[in-house]
Structure 1
Amino acid sequence: MRRRSALKLILAFTAAAGLAAAAFAASRPAAAVTAKAQYLGSYTWNLKQPWFGGFSALKISAGGREMTVLSDRATLVTTSIRRKKGQISGVTARTAHGLRASTGKMLSGFAGDSEGLAIAADGSRYISFEGAARVARYRHAQGRAKVLPRPAAFRKLPVNKSLETLAIDARGDLYTLPEQAFDQNGQIPVWRWNGRRWSRPFSLPPSGSFLPVDADFGPDGRFYLLERDLTFLGFRSRLRRWDMTAGGPANETVLLQTGPGTHDNLEGLSVWTDDTGRLRATMVSDDNFLPLQRTELVEYALPR
């Protein structure tokens, strides 16, 4: 997520305060979470490129050997992942493309605050933006954006707290929700695009001080929500899951909740099935382009 200068100073302080906690927690991450998700490993990705950093969304494919990752400065990156005994041992960037507006102009600044990523069956990339709240389709990474219609509700969302997440279900419907903009009942509103119009099919219950940062539909058809909390000892992360029924989401389950400093600022989520049939969640951290933070890829095995 893009932050103002004052907040970046807070993040820098928070990251520094959490270094000791992170070093300890990284050696025993399973002890900081619920028993429902099993920690598999973490990989710190470093690359000296001007576009590198600020990753807010990702999608894992090819059995965990490929990754598409989105920066919050309007850059879309494709990578190859090397694995050793199933765990990430290296990441190679193949392509990196800046995103264009519908006019063909390269996006930047307020208009280029890209946060959510969903990839359709035909390869189209859908991206949600948090500055000017909108969702756009990219048939090709280097092509122009086709902005979906913007409902009135999007225009009323708070700046820097709007469309943080984007997910696509098996039918190709898109779902997005804000980071911090509750409805009149104090619930998290969820909007769905069915290819013709936006609707509000359901809301989700907030819980504690955690805020939504990404979402995904798993291969099991269930809805997964990654949430984050910022404390003076570091970042906390939580992963919740719902069954999708005709009446809406049901059977809320907390799969993961970490203590401060266990991981960095996890903002991107991809749920997929590995070669052994095990369900995995891969998450990526947004380093806010700050030297005290890191780009971390974190993986957990999830219960069926």
Structure 2
Amino acid sequence: MAKILTVTNQKGGVGKTTTCVNLAASLAATKKRVMLIDLDPQGNATMGSGVDKHSLERSSYELLTGQATAAESRLTETPAGYHLIGANGDLTAAEVELLSLSRREFRLKMALEEVADEYDFILLDNPPSLNLLTVNALASSSGVIIPMQCEYYALEGISALVGTINKINQRLNPELQIEGILRTMFDPRMSLTRDVSSHLVEYFGDKVYRTVIPRNVRLAEAPSHGLPALLYDKSSRGALAYLALAGELIRKSADAGKHPADENSAHTGDADDDVAQGPEAVAGDSNEASKKSADVDADAEVVKEVN
């Protein structure tokens, strides 16, 4: 049975779609069976996966409104090797149409039941707002990954999001919990970044991923080429950080007894020890970054699969 994870934050510009695309690519590189579902009408996760959103024959719109099944809606060939149910502007009409449908909060959950056994992970990308699309995602998921920048207003935003997650847990999905909080666009040179990071760890403890995602030019450039960073520049610090996150997610799932990691993915789990153990991992010089890149290349199969 797939582990279904919602990647969301009600605040825009925090690296939500970047996280969804790059985590999907990194998990797929470890031989995990992965599907990404784009639930944002902007279709950025679709385009970032190398798929033209304007050419979709079926999308998450048809899936949610019952016009197509998950098996009919998915694309099984993407550059990074994960399956994709894309989105485009058609999805803007879905929320209005869903209002008249029975069990409208559970349309996605019901649609995924037929394919859940085919995957190890299903990742859900959401619009930066709490609407019926996001509610469907949360009602379908066992966990929520919250990407956030370490800035002052982010703390207020995450408090509101945690409140929303608790309400969904109480009313719609008792299995829902915070899977992890991911610090993105991390710059340890800024004192505010360090302070907010410390507050997060103090309050949320081990819910905060050890992996941090640095500000990285190659990571920012990759979507314009329709590629995850792992395919655009596998030695970039952004690509390595998401490989580390994939390893941490797999290990955490195995430790919790929810989703045992197999031997093929064990070497990826070690990546987060080498790549991102907190602010120090991001602050290293270019020589250290090159060494880490070489280590991951030498470690082999994770990166080899995307060559």
TM-score normalised per structure 1: 0.30
More helix by share: 2
TM-score normalised per structure 2: 0.29
